Each structure stands twice: as C-alpha cells, then as structure tokens.
Amino acid sequence: MDLHLADEVRAAIECGMPVVALESTVIAHGLPYPENIRTAMRCEAAIRGSGAVPATIALIGGEIRIGLSAAEIEALGSTDKARKISQKDLAIAAAMRLDAATTVSGTAALAHKAGIRVFATGGIGGVHRGDGSDVSGDLPTLARTPITVVCSGAKVILDLPRTREWLETFGVAVLGWETDELPAFYSRRSGLPVDQAVTSAAEVAAIAMARDELGYEAALLVGVPVPAEFELPREEVEAVVSEAIAAANEEGVRGKALTPFLLSRMASVSEGRTLAANIALLENNARVAGKIATAMSETA
Ligand code: PSU
Ligand code: MN
C-alpha cells in the first residue's frame, strides 16, 4: 500500500527536518463548518511557526495522503461524505477507494508508517462513561505505535479515571506539559496523575529518544492544558456533558457517531464556549508539537 506524501513533507522527512502530523476527523466530524477549516489552517500555521512542517492526514478516493493542500482541507471540511475511520478501517477505505477522515488511531498508525515522529490533536478517545463497553480504538493503537502524541488529555465526555487506568495498564507513558496532572480537555486539571511533568520540548525529545533506544513500541502521550483564558470550570463542563449524554441516550446515538454528537451538542448548550476552548487547545497543541518535533530533529 503506497503512502502519498506531499512534496514538502517527503523532503522534510528525507532530510530529517521536523514534521508534525495532524488528524482529519476533527476537521470532518469534530468541529462545525466553517470553524473546522479555519482551525485546521491555524493548526498548520502554528506548526510552521514552531519551525516544523505540518502533515494533515486523510484518504482521498482511497489514496492515503500524508499532507493535504489548503484546497483539500477545504474540501474535506465542506463535505459530510468523508467516513470517520480508525486504524482497523484503513484497509477497507483504501481498497474501497473511499474519502475518509482519520481518527487519532488511524492518523497515528499512518504517521508512524510515514516516518513522522510527532502528532498533534485535541483530545484522544478513551473509555466512554457508563458500563465501559465503548472503548475508543485510539487506545489500543497508542499501545502499539511508537509515536509522540500531543493532546489535552482525553475528551471530557469520557470516563477519565478509567481512561487513565487503561493507559497505565497497557503501557502508554503520560507526560504533563508544565503540569503534574493529566489535562481534562476543556479544563486544565483532572486530578489524575501523569508519569512525569516536563517543562521543555528538549525533555520530551530526550524521553522519546530513550523510548526508541529501548525498542519500546508504545506511544508517548504529552498532555498540554488548554490555555488558561479559554478554560471552562469543571463543574460547568460536567453539567454540559451530562446534558449531552442524556440527549444521546434519548436519541439512541451510539458507536462512532457518539463523539461527534456529544461535541456538537455541548457546543450549542454552552453557547459556543466549549467550541472556543476546543479550537484554542487544538492550535496550542499544534504549536507545542512543532516545538517538540524541532527539538527531536536538533538532537537526532
Ligand atoms: N479531539 C477533538 N475533536 C475530535 C476528536 C478528537 O478535539 O473530534 C476525534 C479524534 O479523531 C478521536 C476521535 O480519535 O474523536 C475519537 O472518536 P471515538 O470515540 O469514536 O473513537
Ligand atoms: Mn467512541
């Protein structure tokens, strides 16, 4: 299966220049139009501002694309036809020549295969609330993919303590960017510990390289808190989440439709404040990921 790398991304990988992968599910299913397109472009700009090359990943007509043009991002953000796919669906989407947006799971797998070492997103998937039978495909992919994922923790619609335990059990090391707690997406703190607080991109790069030298195959997760001015208080978030989950139960929304449903419901209930926080943390995570990728290529 060929990976189609954008020229700029291919050149950067070949010369050991820093590259940061971005997912496309957040564009196609996570944010409303037109904020999705604007945010995707701002994340790319933030990565460039940190000295790295952005590579947004998606499938177009079944072709695995590592690095999209602005026009391709625009197209992906304007259609509701792109399927949301995780790692398990990659073969299906490629063989069936589908247009598809990759989740954290699908993006991490493809980025690693392309030789990209850092990936930025908003919040990873995890163990959903309730009986725990809905567990995101993001988690098992992270447990077997040696890449560095920069995020603001897991999405707050999830059962965060169980998601944290899952990462512990399956050996995904969790770092806190200037914090000793795993961020809680819209909120800076979760009360859940990280394995190590870090204060610089060089520290993350050193840990990632030590992981590689040890031949350890799991991802390194870097939790970056949402910028303080966009933070929502946890109690307010809980109220919004409960409302959204109740609505999902009432409407019988399940499976992969659940996360997009909850995100959009919360945005309307909070009058756009969850959306503003989501956009701010995505852009900030992209900026931090760019710094980490730059530190990695300086020390490689
Ligand atoms: N983070 C965001 N918005 C999103 C997502 C993450 O800020 O829309 C997406 C990611 O692509 C993640 C997916 O992989 O939600 C998880 O969905 P699920 O629970 O169905 O695995
Ligand atoms: Mn899910």
Residue-wise pLDDT for 23-47, tens only, equals 999 999 999 999 999 999 999 999 9
Instruction: Tell me which of 56, 86, 103, 254 to substitute to probe ligand 1's pocket, judged by most ligand atoms within 8 Å of the beta carbon.
Output: 103
Q: Ligand 1 pocket, 188 CB below 6 A? A: no
* pLDDT confidence of residue 237: 92
* pLDDT confidence of residue 300: 66
- Domains for the chain: give ranges and CATH numbers: 3-299 (3.40.1790.10)
* pLDDT confidence of residue 50: 98
Q: Ligand 1 pocket, 126 CB below 6 A? A: no
In this structure, the number of other CB atoms found within 10 A of the CB of residue 273 comes to 17
Tokens of 288: 């931090």
* pLDDT confidence of residue 47: 98
User: If you take atom 17 of ligand 1, which residue's CA is the nearest one?
Assistant: 125
Long-range contacts of 68-71 (CB under 8 A, 24+ apart): 68/6, 68/24, 69/6, 70/41
The segments of the chain whose pLDDT lies below 70 read: 300
* pLDDT confidence of residue 130: 87
Residue-wise pLDDT for 250-282, tens only, equals 999 988 899 889 999 999 999 999 999 999 999
User: If you take atom 7 of ligand 1, which residue's CA is the nearest one?
Assistant: 122
Q: Ligand 1 pocket, 187 CB below 6 A? A: no
**Cβ neighbours of residue 297 under 8 Å, at least 6 residues apart?**
16, 17, 18
* pLDDT confidence of residue 34: 96
Residue 23 falls in the annotated catalytic set = yes
The CA 199 to ligand 2 mean position distance, Å, reads 31
Tokens of 184: 């809680």
Residue 113 falls in the annotated catalytic set = no
* pLDDT confidence of residue 121: 98
